[in-house]
Amino acid sequence: MSESHAARPLAVLGAGVMGCGIATLAVGFGLPVVLVDVDEDKLASAGRTIARELRLAALMGALPPGVATGGLTTSASVADVAGAELVIEAVTEDAAVKAEALASLSGIVAPDTPVVSNTSSIPIGELANSLRHPETFLGTHFMNPPYLIETVEVIRGDRTGDAALGRLESVLARLGRKPLTVGDNPGFVTSRVLHPMINDAVRVVEEGTATPETVDALFVGCLGHRTGPLRTADLIGLDNLADSLRVLHERTGDEGCKPRELLLAKVRAGDLGQKSGRGFYEYGGAKS
């Protein structure tokens, strides 16, 4: 890796839960970050959120010792990603919104700058049509929170070039992450398997077979799952889960991916999981 690459920031587009989480990881490992969002309110709270997450990550031993924190720059202008080594788009899990964001990036970054969509379900080949240089485009699926989960699902599209993949792998190595590269299909591997399973867990609760607590206790106690499917749903964000399931249902026709009404009702009520303070469980308060 050249010195010029080392000095260039990582750009993150989108200051939501995942955008802030990825920025926290990068800053915590000493990389400079430019965090961009057109929503001024999100930007105003992003610095506080990242500072809080950095403290938590340090307490949990998730950051490298003796490494100075990287600088964080927030901006409402997409033009400020122009000098980035690599850009990660982390806007909402909506294909049209992502396509618009990616198109805006495509005319700003250098032709050889990798552009990465952090997505849980939308095919990379579909989104690649929004970019001028699809050979520089690929996907990641960071798990939440990114600074605690070391493995990252990397999605290589049919048009992704070797150089872009190599650059992303280099950046992830500098962030202490382990990339596992998969092919391009709706949901890839983790979401294609996990999200329909969570949807089935919601169905079990919806039908009155068991409470969320019992469902999760069975998965933890009998199957060795770390938290259970419904606590996992709250961590993902119930709105993000519903969006991902819609993508899977629309693109695969699998009726098991059609979001359950109980899930949709919680989203309508604003009960989105940990980030709102309530989902299938109650939490101490919403994250700012």
Active site residues: 141
In whole angstroms, what is the distance from residue 211 CA to residue 218 CA?
A: 11
Contact predicate 136/113, CB 8 Å = yes
Length of the chain: 288
Q: Tokens 């709102």 label which residue?
A: 276
| Dihedral sign of CA atoms 24, 25, 30, 32 in order | negative
Q: Which residues pair with 153 in a beta bridge?
A: 141, 180
Within 10 angstroms of residue 273's Cβ, the number of other Cβ atoms is 28
**Which tokens in the block code for residue 230?**
């419904």
Are 53 and 27 in contact by the 8 Å Cβ rule? The answer is no
The pair of structure tokens assigned to 107 is: 């005319």
Phi/psi for 213 (5° steps) reads: -60, -40
CA distance 244 to 249: 9
Half-sphere exposure of 29 (CA within 13 A, CB side): 20
The answer to whether the CB of 172 falls within 8 A of the CB of 152 is: yes
**CA–CA separation, 38 vs 36, rounded Å?**
7
